Amino acid sequence: MAIHSSQGLLNGIRQPKPRNEYAVPRYRVTLVRDNRAVPPSSPLTTSVAATAILRPLFAGLDREQFLVCGLDAKHRIIGVNIVSIGSLTLAIVHPREVFKPLILMNAGAWICAHNHPSGDVTPSQEDRVLTSRLKQGADLLGIRLLDHLILTDEGYYSFADQSWPGE
């Protein structure tokens, strides 16, 4: 009979190491870039500039989509993350999913945008409530929300330009 406990062998067969049933799983959180596009180097200082950059991301969509655009401390674009793809009239947006990519991007500020496939830029009551909730969360986290844009093929609505109505 060959017993070699120092090597984990019992009768010539390697025995599995005992598992600690109470071990805590460890995770590593990373942000993965989807492409090698180079963001514009100029800061976003107006809703017109933000609209010009973000509108092409909504081109041809037949349903609502909500995205966040992370900005550095000088308001230059770090990156964009699609938070939600919804239906013709609704995209479900939860603050947890909004702030996760912004934190991972090390964003100092941000802009959110969504489209209205109907072509009407008028914010719904849900848009107003969401904007207020996201602004409160952003203030709490110290990541400044600069604007929430509603985009269509022809026009846009800027909550910041309208003095954040609904708060």
Please state the pTM of the whole predicted model. 0.81
58, 88, 119 from 110: Cα distances, Å: 18, 25, 24
Are 158 and 122 a contacting pair, CB within 8 Å?
Answer: no
Are 159 and 123 a contacting pair, CB within 8 Å?
Answer: yes
Q: How far apart are the first and last CA of the chain?
A: 79
Please check the confidence at residue 10 and state whether its pLDDT lies above 70: no
Measured distance CA(162)–CA(88) in Å, rounded: 25
How much is the pLDDT for 6?
54
Model pLDDT for residues 76-113, shown as the tens digit of each residue: 999 999 999 999 888 999 999 999 999 999 999 999 99
Are 31 and 104 a contacting pair, CB within 8 Å?
Answer: yes
How much is the pLDDT for 4?
53
Domains and CATH numbers, the chain: 43-158 (3.40.140.10)
How much is the pLDDT for 148?
98
How much is the pLDDT for 9?
61
Sign of the alpha-carbon torsion through 127, 132, 134, 138: positive
Q: What percent of the chain has pLDDT over 70?
A: 90
Highest mean pLDDT among 7-11, 24-28, 71-75: 71-75
